[in-house]
Structure 1
Amino acid sequence: MRLKRITIALFIVLLMVSCKSSSVKEATKQHTNFVIIYTDDLGYGDLSCYGAQGYSTPNLDKMASEGMRFTDFSVSSSICSPSRAGLLTGRYAERWGYKDGVFWPYSKDGMPASEVTIAEILKEKGYETGMVGKWHLGHKTEFAPTSQGFNMYYGIPFSNDMWQDPEMPLADTVVFNEGLSLEDFKTKNPKKKFRNKVPLVEGNEVIEWPVDQALLTKKYTKKAIQFIEDNKREPFFLYFAHSMPHIPLYVSKTFKGKTERGLFGDVIEEIDWSVGEILKTLKTNGLAENTLVIFASDNGPWISKQPNAGTAGGLRDGKFSPYEGGSRVPCIVWQPGFVPQGVVSNQQTSTLDILPTIANLVDKDLPNNRVIDGIDITPTLTGKLQNIKREYFLYRGNNAIRVGNWKYVKTKKEEQLFNLLTDKEETKNLIEAHPEKAEFLKSKLKSLLASL
């Protein structure tokens, strides 16, 4: 009799576990989750699958072999803040009044809360939204992630070479490191004294200052995994923005001194490890087939910071510039069963396209009271159509425009025309051979700037 009761109890437990597992699987089939992994200053040539040498990125290479790798993917600006704005809103930052430069710890402004972000679109569809990592769109509460559609935020509010804002709210349990104190944090002019000593924020409060940057990638990864596991039964959106490889470079002891490339290579290998942990978490929790993961960078490499900077992989120039090395970055998209395996796409795509594509995938109308500069690239992601045409693409500084494969650049010294189909390195100025093409692009740029 006792054996019978034990058998029945065991059967009930197994049935409950089975039902729970089944209910989780059924729930996850009903929606698509989204994970965007965004690095900082990672160049077009800085992954193994894009030609990097001196270190390896096996997890990202595998992600590419299991998904789609893009060769013509660009960001909306070759500098940090407007690039991140373009990613999250699908719009050029100039449309909400951005001029140039980035936001600083002393900045009083940021991206307006009136801008509609991916997080806000998905939140309206019942998604749990979380952001881990570097924000850099204004650190004041009214501009922070929690005011832009994110329920959870954990990270540093600006670049890792900056400092604290003495007016930032502090958590009751704030931890001060390196022998520093509350008095140090409240210093009125901290720029010179505390450069590279940035705060770690959770929600809207500083929880640690200065954060140990050698541990940032691991801390971010742990928090990102926690967010996924906490929300695995509900639709979720995770925006995971690494602080690296923006200089100054930091890496944990686990990865320090591991590559021939030095500190830069060590940092990239730790980022690659982090990506692997995220993908492993999705697979372990049965979320891989209904989670679209996008990996990219905010702009090209900060070339002047060699040897602690990356490479544009043969493209011209890097961060800050209107040339391809500044805006064309690595991009890998992954979702087993939705994104075809091992495809290399030459389709011209952009971070501007991510918002309209996600909106389409969750059947959400785009805001009709503003211009959205991106286009829906769902047919490209599914491998059904690789020839989606866009009307134009603009570059940082508003002195360069691309239409199709033709690109016009106006510098202080000259006007330039390039055919990116045959010369993505931008070495041959074709303006004398095609003056009519240059004039067309110049005129179009002028009219677009007037509309911006």
Structure 2
Amino acid sequence: MYPSYRTITLLLFLFTVILNAQEKPNVIVVLVDDLGLGDVSYYRKLHSDNIIVETPALDALAENGTVFTNAHAPAALCAPSRYAIMTGNHCYRSDAPWGVWGSYEKSPIKENQLTLAKLMKQAGYHTAFFGKWHIGGDFLRKDDPKTIYRGPRNKPELDVDIRKIVGGGPRYHGFDYALSFQAGIQDVPYAIYENSIFKPIAKNSKITFITQAKMDKIGVKLDKAEGLGDSHWNPTHMGRLLIYTAKNYIEENANKDKPFFMYYSALAVHLPHTPTDELNGMKIAGTTPSKHLDLVKELDVQIQMLINTLKEQGIYDDTIIMLTSDNGGLLRKNTLKSGHQPSDIYRGGKNQAYEGGNRVPFIISWNNHLKHQLNGSPVLGLDIMATLADLTQIDLPDDQALDSSSFLPMLKNETEVLNRTIYSQSGTSKEVMLIKDNFKLIMQVDKTDLSNNTQLPIALFDLKNNPTETEEGNLILNKEYQSKMKELSTLYHTTRKSGRPTASRFLNN
């Protein structure tokens, strides 16, 4: 019996789908925790010969692709940035615009909201998440298993059942596979979750209360509150566990019909600074001037391990790697004492409104596809969404990723400069920033105004002539620049209050 016309048509269609899937590159997005611009020796060498810690793997990525030199995190603090990067929306569109600081808080990502994972699934990718989530989640109460636990942060959490994430985690936002740490290694629960289920660290692991006294026995200082976790919790080993699980995933998913999208959310280089003794045959702990810089080195080795695995599987040329940070670098005493400059030439660091707070590394590498270039266009971490949509030829809905602009044309050298205004924010001090045509306005948000709509201008810098934001160059009281200050403050206020999109696809229509 000969196959019917309908059968032949179906077979041709399925063959085309499989062929197209194979032609799509794998994508790895690496989001590093607290990595400053000056922590990457490639960036530091652009301004200084004084290199305290080399990062050869990160440098090799930079030398093999596009290096953005005017890249910004959406916020100077990790949680709000993570929401923005995952959704392509500015932090202020979130129900928690200043961040979701507790693992037991409701995720600001709505069920109907597009995420990077949902986008890539739509494009035919298998999606996987590895590492720090920090965008909220749902756990059940112990005393009432039908009720979601919600509790104040920095208070011992005893009534929460941490055995399973029942909502709000990576598996609920489009990831097919997830090995997640709800708050990285910095906060409760001190546990690992595989596909939302508590994953014991050891065969005899049990859920217990992690105290500072217990951590003292293994030389670890908790960064945040005591709380529930795995009885074998030791942050020193978590980076190793994370990278080897990611390696296994690549090995298992290389050269399959479906390309893969990996979101590698590194645990380094956030506190507590607990570097591993050795990784991939290289000694880590105690090899740099500070434990903080040991973790920078550990991160670099992890990146080399990812690259080596791609090469071993024969898919390095078929994989795009995008690497950036969730905020600026850490200003740690021992690190600074060594001469290392985490923020490179820029003022301030993590949590601050100055450029050091949200100027970040941003590297795009695709071997044998992208030429090496330095690009000074202003870009944001949340631009990853529109760029991936552009790459996979997916049309973004008009109600999604409102602030994400594609930088794919710049990677293809079709255009050299992306003309855009940068909207960002600091951290706990609640300042907002706007950069337009090299002028940067910093405004203090009135903390008593829950709408966040009351903002007082406190600084104005001309970044072209004063990139380091010296106070001598603060133009806020300069009469010649009052109209510029008013122009920028009005632009920020009206844009935020109106809710209008800021992405280039809206502005160009």
TM-score category (smaller protein): 0.7 to 0.9
Deviation per CA, 1:309-359: give whole Å up to 9, x if none: 872112111111222111111111100232212x11111111121100100
The offset of 1:44, in angstroms, is 1.3
SS at match of 1:402: strand
Deviation per CA, 1:231-283: give whole Å up to 9, x if none: 11221100001111111111111134453423222211111111111112222
Matched, 1:212 2:234: yes
SS at match of 1:156: strand
- Kindly report which structure 2 residues correspond to 1:250-265, keeping only aligned pairs within 5 A, or say none: 250-254=274-278, 255-265=283-293
Relative to structure 1, the CA distance from residue 217 to residue 392 in structure 2 (aligned partners, 3 Å threshold; closer, same or farther) is closer
1:18 maps to none
The residue type equivalent to 1:382 in the other structure is K
Relative to structure 1, the CA distance from residue 173 to residue 382 in structure 2 (aligned partners, 3 Å threshold; closer, same or farther) is closer
RMSD over aligned CA atoms reads 3.1
Matched, 1:174 2:174: no
Match of 1:327 among 348, 358, 372: 358
1:20 maps to none
Contact 1:393 1:403 in 2 (8 A): no
Matched, 1:285 2:313: yes
2:474 maps to 429
After TM superposition, the score normalised by the length of structure 2 is 0.74
Match of 2:35 among 42, 50, 55: 42
Contact 1:162 1:191 in 2 (8 A): no
The offset of 1:98, in angstroms, is 1.8
**Equivalent-residue separation in structure 1 for 2:360 and 2:186 (angstroms):** 22
Contact 1:103 1:110 in 2 (8 A): no
The offset of 1:398, in angstroms, is 5.3
The offset of 1:405, in angstroms, is 1.1
Matched, 1:145 2:170: yes
Of residues 364-373 and 287-296 in structure 1, the stretch that sits farther from structure 2 once superposed is 364-373
Relative to structure 1, the CA distance from residue 175 to residue 358 in structure 2 (aligned partners, 3 Å threshold; closer, same or farther) is closer
**Equivalent-residue separation in structure 2 for 1:27 and 1:92 (angstroms):** 33
**Equivalent-residue separation in structure 1 for 2:310 and 2:55 (angstroms):** 19
Deviation per CA, 1:41-98: give whole Å up to 9, x if none: 1111111112273221111111111112221110111111111111111111321322
After TM superposition, the score normalised by the length of structure 1 is 0.83
SS at match of 1:444: helix
Match of 2:406 among 376, 381, 387: 376
Matched, 1:443 2:490: yes
- Kindly report which structure 2 residues correspond to 1:40-79, keeping only aligned pairs within 5 A, or say none: 40-51=33-44, 53-79=51-77
Gaps of 5+ in 2: 1-17, 45-49, 139-165, 216-220, 446-455, 500-509
Q: Which runs of 4+ in 1 moved over 4 A?
A: 25-29, 168-173, 190-195, 206-210, 411-414
Contact 1:90 1:373 in 2 (8 A): yes
2:378 maps to 348
Matched, 1:400 2:433: yes
1:228 maps to 250
The residue type equivalent to 1:117 in the other structure is T
2:344 maps to 313
- Kindly report which structure 2 residues correspond to 1:46-125, keeping only aligned pairs within 5 A, or say none: 46-51=39-44, 53-125=51-123
2:13 maps to none
SS at match of 2:183: coil
Deviation per CA, 1:88-122: give whole Å up to 9, x if none: 11111321322324321342444333321111011
Match of 2:301 among 273, 286, 289: 273
Percent of aligned positions that are identical: 25
The offset of 1:426, in angstroms, is 1.2
2:442 maps to 409
**Equivalent-residue separation in structure 1 for 2:421 and 2:294 (angstroms):** 40
The residue type equivalent to 1:97 in the other structure is D
Contact 1:54 1:265 in 2 (8 A): no
**Equivalent-residue separation in structure 2 for 1:115 and 1:191 (angstroms):** 38
Contact 1:80 1:102 in 2 (8 A): no
The offset of 1:393, in angstroms, is 2.4
